[in-house]
Chain A
Amino acid sequence: MTIDDQLRRALASKDPPAGFLGRTLNRIASAEAGQRPPSSGSLASRRALLLAVAASLVLAVGGSRYLLHRQTVREAERARDEVAAALQVVSRTLADVQIKVEAAVERAGANHERHSR
């Protein structure tokens, strides 16, 4: 084994200690909250609040489980959006069909009247 290979093995990246993600988010949320007055309704304050919510969730359920939970939520949201989009397409198609059917019925009615005279 060359020294390059040995260095790659010795310097392979490793996971941080358990709870790192939660502690990091908590620290950022605290630092941001400490920088701004509590009554401020600015975008930055809102962002800090949202981050604090994420931090508390991560601390409550653990980093990896939290991220997997977020994945599930995002996939569910994506599936819901896809179903809604599909329903809109179906609805538009049905409306088009209905218009065509009504036009055909009207034409048929008009033809029938012409012939009966």
Chain B
Amino acid sequence: MPNAAAALVEPPEDLLQRARSGEGHAFAALVGEYQRMVFSLANHFVHDRAIAEELAQEVFLELYRNLSHLSSIPHLVFWLRRVTSHRCIDQQRRLGRRPEVGMRDLPEPAVLPDPRDPMREERLRRLIRELPPAARMVVVLRYQEDLEPAEISAILGMRANTVKSHLRRSLAVLRSRIAEEETRP
């Protein structure tokens, strides 16, 4: 989602053109435009604002060094999503495996109880954090960026059927875990 203040500055294609020619102000405006998207992808993946900021800064540093290879705004957005996703997954692998929710043998409840629970969003974010890295990034790209499986497949370098399978199983896990927590005394 573009930053409101930056979006007012000028068309992003012009910003990219000027940033590529070395204008620091234009690059600053580009970062302003896409900081929300990059930071949120990282934050939803790691569930830690300090680590998310660190990751997002690394992505923008890499962007600065690769500006000359980016020909248009759609290319830039695709590149930012791809680099952010891969950096998040790599960072997770560097930190080592954490307890994750099993993806098999989970019953799927028929309905979700009490959908307006104000604590549900935070619980969902915490449960997403427990999904395995690749599945977690698929879920974040699907629901934060509203991307289709084919687009996620291109970003993550994963077959579209694998993306669909991650989505299906992750949703089943999340439904089960929510139901499980809500029936706990």
If A11-B44, A13-B144, A71-B10 touch, does A6 touch B24 (CB 8 Å cutoff)? no
Cross-chain contact A21 with B31 (CB below 8 angstroms): yes
Q: How far is the CA of A24 from the CA of B3 in the complex (A)?
A: 15
Contact call B40/A13, Cβ cutoff below 8 A: yes
Most buried by A among B10, B56, B143: B143
A7 B139 Cβ-Cβ under 8 A: yes
By a CB distance below 8 angstroms, the chain A residues around B146 are 8
- Beta-carbon contact of B144 and A11 below 8 Å: yes
- Secondary structure at the A interface, as helix, strand, loop or mixed, is helix
Query: Which residues from chain B contact A74 at a C-beta distance below 8 Å?
Result: 9-10
Closest-by-CB residue of B relative to A35 is B65
Asked if A68 and B5 make an inter-chain contact with CB atoms under 8 angstroms apart, the answer reads: yes
**Chain B proximity of A106: nearest CB distance (Å):** 49
B interface residues, tally (CB under 8 Å): 50
B9 with A24: CB separation less than 8 A: no
Q: Which of A1, A6, A24, A52 contacts B56 (CB 8 A)?
A: A24
A70 CB–B CB distance under 8 Å: yes
B44-77, CB under 8 A of A: which get 1 and which 0?
A: 1000010011001100110010000000000000
Q: Is A6 touching B121 in the complex (CB atoms < 8 A)? A: yes
B60 near A24 (CB under 8 angstroms)? yes
Q: How far is the CA of A1 from the CA of B37 in the complex (A)?
A: 25
B148 proximal to A (CB < 8 A): no
Which B residues between 114 and 146 are near A, CB-CB below 8 angstroms? 115-116, 120-122, 124-125, 128, 139-140, 142-144, 146
Out of A14, A24, A68, name the residue touching B40 (CB < 8 Å). Answer: A14
Interface residues of B in 1-59 (CB under 8 A from A): 1, 3, 5-6, 8-10, 22-25, 27-29, 31-32, 35-37, 39-41, 43-44, 49, 52-53, 56-57
For residue A37, CB closer than 8 A to chain B, the reply is no
The smallest beta-carbon distance between A47 and chain B, in angstroms, is 4
